[in-house]
Every structure is written in C-alpha cells, then in structure tokens.
Amino acid sequence: MKIAFYGVRPEEESYLKERFSSAMAATGASAAYSAERDLLKAADPDADAVCVFIDSLVDKAAMDAFPKLKLVVTRSTGYDHIDVGEAAARGIVVSSVPSYGENTVAEFAFGLILALSRKIYAAADQVKETGSFAMDGLRGFDLLGKTIGVVGTGRIGRHAIRMAGGFGMKVVAYDPSPDEKAAAGSGFRYAGMDELLAASDVVTLHVPLTKETEHMMNAAALAKMKPSALLINTSRGGIVDTGALVQALAAKTIAGAGLDVLEEEGAIKDEAAFLASGHPKEEELKAVLADHALMKMPNVIVTPHVAFNTDEALRRILSTTVDDIKAWAEGAPINTVRAS
Ligand code: NAI
C-alpha cells in the first residue's frame, strides 16, 4: 500500500513522517512526499491513496492519472477542490479534517476585523515606510455596541459569535439550518440574509463553498450592506463575486473588506503556470484581474489563505490526516465526505 503526499511544506514533512511511520508501521504502508501541488505533474501510478492540500485539484483528469486510487485525503476542512461526485462514482473514499480548532480561523477573522476597524495595517505600514507618527486618516471605529452578521453558524461561525460577545457586539446570524437552542444560550438571534446584510456593521462569512453558496455575496447582496460596513471572508473566495466586490468598494457602497481567501487564488499563487495551463476561461481571467484590483485598494486587506495556519492547528490537522489514512487502511474510513 502506497500513500502519495502532495503540496507538502517543509514544516509539515518531518511531523508527517514521524506520525506516519509510528501510526502505519503495522500496515506496512509506504509513503512518498512531494512539494508539487499539481497531481498531473507528479502522478504516481503506484499510489493507492493521495493526500493533498486545498491547492491541489483532484478532478477527473487527476483521478485518471492514478489507476490504483482508492483514497483521497485532504489536509483541510473544505473539500471543494475535490470532485467528490466523481470519486464516489469510482468507489474512491474521500476524507477531510472536519475539525482542528475552529477558534483558529475565528481568531483570524477578528484579526482582519480589527486590522480594518482600527486601521492597524495602515498605521503600522505608515510607521514602517515613512517613520511618520501623524494620526491623519487613521481614525477607526469601536466594535462595542456594533452589530456583526455571522453567515454560517457551524464550527467556525460559533467561535466568531463567542468572540463577538467578548467585544460587546450584537450578533445576528444566518444559516439555513439554524440552531435556535444555541442562539438562546449564546445570546444571538437568527434573521434572514437580507435583514442580516442591512443590520450589520461587519459581515463575516463562515460557510462552505457549494453550488448554493457560490457568489452568494453578489452585487445584489453587497448592495444591501451599509455603506459603512466591512465584509470579512475567511471561508472560500468563490462565495464572493470578486468583480462585484471591487465595484462596491470603488463606489463606496461598502467601506472595506478583509479577505483571507480569493476567487482564483490558486492562479494568483503561480500566474505563470496559470497562463501556461492552456486556455484560461474568461471568467477566471476576470477574477484574477479583480483580485489584483482588490490587493491595491487601501481599504482592503488580503492575506494568502493563512487563517488556519498556527502551530497548534497544523499539528492537529496533520494528526487527523494520519488518523484518516490509518482508519481507511484498517478498513473503517473516518471523516468521509460526500457530494452536497
Ligand atoms: P461547518 O460545516 O461546521 O459550518 C458551516 C455552516 O454553514 C453550517 O452550519 C451550514 O449549515 C452553514 N451553511 C451552509 N450553507 C449556507 C448558506 N447558504 N448560508 C448560510 N449558512 C450556510 O464548517 P466550518 O468548520 O465552520 O468551516 C466553514 C468553512 O470555512 C469551510 O467550509 C472552509 O471552506 C472554510 N475554512 C477556511 C479556512 C482558512 O484557512 N481560511 C480554514 C478552515 C475552514
């Protein structure tokens, strides 16, 4: 049995090797570790399982390149980079890391909120770049008493709600599967999406990327937000229509955005490879252009999909990843995901 790991960063490799060799010793499984993210560039026809991160596309073509493939494990919570339906049709098991410390992402969302609401990035950048201690243009606003709209009240959303309470914010939430009991116990209320958008000073997104959530923050939704409001996205880039966001920010119909995720962030990571990849679609090119416009805007903070990236979370992710592989090798897969 062979497991091929892709997109492995140096800080992951030593931990993975150690955990894998102790957990999998009894199975006699072997492992190969590669920094390559593109499965087609480094396909291993002997691999029974592949282990990837979010920037490896596991589609039909990738599956074709692994004739023995029986398991795909992703070192992430989101699995929208895997064609789960195609995997199911081929009898390939897909496992993810459903939970590794949702506080980690929620803490980062608040980092983005504070960076914008108190202009921390702008202030620090001014001091570093110019040495100036002038306060002009650096006045922010209090979170105390403001309303935060939490879209998606799953694991991460709940932590965001808890943290908002610490700041003395009012919380309004939207989720198609509301948990009224949790709302009553944690002092927040559910509302419709339109009401949430109209009432919130900060809107923070904590939903998976699905056909239903793709571009849920489109021009119409953005137009319902307050002109003074901030949009925070630490979920997936595709949930926001990037072109519409650029227009809303340029027209000042919203005040700012904190984005840990971008549509086509994979293309931004390696633009040369993106351009060389054949024929990029028009909408992909438009999204990349919009991403660049966002990165230049002073009222926008873009980070490179690092909300999950703490020492503690990384160890938990890798530990669950090896557990996923071990459980599958022992014939009882865990943390499996299916097409929604
Ligand atoms: P979860 O599955 O616990 O919660 C998601 C919630 O979204 C559920 O309550 C679900 O009912 C709700 N939801 C589904 N469709 C919705 C819709 N149309 N409108 C409003 N709510 C909807 O997921 P969790 O752990 O909270 O993670 C959320 C997402 O965060 C992940 O799917 C992943 O894409 C992203 N993420 C990003 C990370 C980063 O580093 N930036 C790290 C980890 C996760």
What's the number of CA atoms in the CB half-sphere (13 Å) around residue 75? 27
User: For the chain, what percent of residues have pLDDT higher than 90?
Assistant: 89
5 close to 47: Cβ distance less than 8 angstroms: no
114 close to 120: Cβ distance less than 8 angstroms: yes
Dump pLDDT digits (tens) for 102-136: 899 999 999 999 999 999 999 999 999 999 999 99
Classify 30 as helix, strand or coil. strand
User: How far is it, in rounded angstroms, from Cα 239 to Cα 174?
Assistant: 15
* Residues 185 and 269 placed together within one structural domain of the fold: yes
* Residues 70 and 107 placed together within one structural domain of the fold: no
User: How far is it, in rounded angstroms, from Cα 214 to Cα 218?
Assistant: 9
Q: How confident is the model at residue 143 (pLDDT cuts 50, 70, 90)?
A: very high
Measured in Å, residue 236 CA sits from the centre of ligand 1 at: 9
* Residues 143 and 179 placed together within one structural domain of the fold: yes
175 close to 190: Cβ distance less than 8 angstroms: yes
> What pLDDT shows up at residue 275?
85
Q: Which of 38, 29, 37 is nearest to 12 (CA)?
A: 37
Q: How confident is the model at residue 277 (pLDDT cuts 50, 70, 90)?
A: confident
339 has a pLDDT exceeding 90: no
Q: What does the block give as tokens for 47?
A: 């691999």
188 has a pLDDT exceeding 90: yes
Mean pLDDT over residues 8-34, rounded? 91
Q: What does the block give as tokens for 141?
A: 């606003």
Measured in Å, residue 30 CA sits from the centre of ligand 1 at: 33
Nearest CA to ligand 1 atom 9: 154
Q: Domain range for residue 187?
A: 102-302
Atom of ligand 1 lying closest to residue 102 CA: 25
List the catalytic residue out of 19, 159, 236, 263.
Answer: 236
* Residues 172 and 81 placed together within one structural domain of the fold: no
Classify 150 as helix, strand or coil. strand
Dump pLDDT digits (tens) for 22-74: 889 888 899 999 999 999 999 999 999 999 999 999 999 999 999 999 999 99
Mean pLDDT over residues 285-304, rounded? 95
User: How far is it, in rounded angstroms, from Cα 169 to Cα 157?
Assistant: 14
* Residues 93 and 137 placed together within one structural domain of the fold: no
> What pLDDT shows up at residue 45?
96
For the Cβ of 213 lying below 6 angstroms from any atom of ligand 1, the answer is yes
Q: Greater confidence, 339 or 191?
A: 191
* Residues 64 and 87 placed together within one structural domain of the fold: yes
Q: What is the mean pLDDT of the chain?
A: 95
Mean pLDDT over residues 194-213, rounded? 97
The answer to whether position 334 is within a domain reads no
> What pLDDT shows up at residue 270?
84
For the Cβ of 37 lying below 6 angstroms from any atom of ligand 1, the answer is no
The answer to whether position 340 is within a domain reads no
Helix and strand counts by DSSP (H, E) for the chain: 14, 12
Q: Which of 267, 265, 262 is nearest to 245 (CA)?
A: 262
User: How far is it, in rounded angstroms, from Cα 74 to Cα 82?
Assistant: 9
Mean pLDDT over residues 147-174, rounded? 98
Q: Greater confidence, 340 or 76?
A: 76
312 close to 103: Cβ distance less than 8 angstroms: no
137 has a pLDDT exceeding 80: yes
> What pLDDT shows up at residue 248?
98
The answer to whether position 235 is within a domain reads yes
The dihedral built from the CA positions of residue 284, 290, 292 and 295, taken in this order, carries a sign that is negative
The answer to whether position 339 is within a domain reads no
Q: How confident is the model at residue 85 (pLDDT cuts 50, 70, 90)?
A: very high
* Residues 142 and 237 placed together within one structural domain of the fold: yes
For the Cβ of 155 lying below 6 angstroms from any atom of ligand 1, the answer is yes
88 close to 338: Cβ distance less than 8 angstroms: yes
N-term to C-term CA, the chain: 30
279 has a pLDDT exceeding 80: no
For the Cβ of 303 lying below 6 angstroms from any atom of ligand 1, the answer is no
> What pLDDT shows up at residue 102?
86
The answer to whether position 14 is within a domain reads yes
Q: Which of 5, 73, 68 is nearest to 39 (CA)?
A: 5
Q: What does the block give as tokens for 80?
A: 């929208």
139 catalytic, yes or no? no
Q: Are strands 189-190 and 93-95 parallel, antiparallel or unpaired?
A: unpaired
265 catalytic, yes or no? yes
> What pLDDT shows up at residue 276?
82
* Residues 297 and 316 placed together within one structural domain of the fold: no
* Residues 57 and 194 placed together within one structural domain of the fold: no
* Residues 150 and 297 placed together within one structural domain of the fold: yes
Distant-in-sequence, close-in-space partners of 30: CB < 8 Å, separation ≥ 6: 1, 2, 3
* Residues 131 and 236 placed together within one structural domain of the fold: yes
Mean pLDDT over residues 84-95, rounded? 97
> What pLDDT shows up at residue 274?
85
Task: Find the CATH number of the domain harbouring 219.
Answer: 3.40.50.720
101 has a pLDDT exceeding 80: no
Nearest CA to ligand 1 atom 11: 177
Nearest CA to ligand 1 atom 8: 154
User: How far is it, in rounded angstroms, from Cα 82 to Cα 326?
Assistant: 20
Q: How far is CA 218 from the centre of its chain?
A: 18
Q: What does the block give as tokens for 265?
A: 């962030």
* Residues 211 and 128 placed together within one structural domain of the fold: yes
Q: What does the block give as tokens for 166?
A: 């610490």
Mean pLDDT over residues 149-163, rounded? 97
As for how many domains the chain has, the answer is: 2
